[in-house]
Chains A and B, each alone.
Chain A
Amino acid sequence: RKEVEQDPGPFNVPEGATVAFNCTYSNSASQSFFWYRQDCRKEPKLLMSVYSSGNEDGRFTAQLNRASQYISLLIRDSKLSDSATYLCVVNTGRRALTFGSGTRLQVQP
Chain B
Amino acid sequence: NAGVTQTPKFQVLKTGQSMTLQCAQDMNHNSMYWYRQDPGMGLRLIYYSASEGTTDKGEVPNGYNVSRLNKREFSLRLESAAPSQTSVYFCASRRDSNQPQHFGDGTRLSIL
Interface residues of A (CB under 8 A from B): 31-32, 34, 36, 41-46, 49, 87, 89, 91, 93, 95-97, 99-102
Contacts and interface: CB of A to CB of B under 8 A. Distances in A.
A43 B103 contact: yes
B53 interface: no
Chain A interface mostly: loop
A32 B98 contact: yes
Interface of B: 31, 33, 41-43, 45, 48, 50, 56, 58, 88, 90, 94, 97-106, 108
A99 B97 contact: no
Contacts of B58: 95-96
A44 B104 contact: no
A40 to B, nearest CB: 10
A99 B56 contact: no
B97 A101 contact: no
10 contacts: A32-B99, A44-B103, A45-B103, A46-B100, A91-B98, A95-B50, A96-B31, A96-B33, A99-B42, A99-B43
B101 to A, nearest CB: 6
